[in-house]
Structure 1
Amino acid sequence: MLTLISYFILLFGASIVALVLSIGLNKIQLI
């Protein structure tokens, strides 16, 4: 159970990092 929760947290964190990186790349391209 604990490993499942930690896996979901890791997946959630990875998706947030990917989202932030994509937004940052878009802003860099706009400049």
Structure 2
Amino acid sequence: MLTIISYFVLLIAAPISALVLFIALNKIQLI
């Protein structure tokens, strides 16, 4: 049960963190 929850958290957190990192890199390049 706990492993399934942690897996879903990882599955949701990974794309969000990647998107935030991508936006941050784009903002750094714009400056």
Q: TM-score, normalised by structure 1?
A: 0.72
In structure 1, runs of 5+ residues without a counterpart are: none
- The answer to whether 1:29 aligns with 2:11 is no
Runs of 4+ with deviation above 2 angstroms = 1-6
Aligned residues, how many? 31
Q: TM-score, normalised by structure 2?
A: 0.72
- RMSD of aligned residue pairs (Cα, Å): 1.1
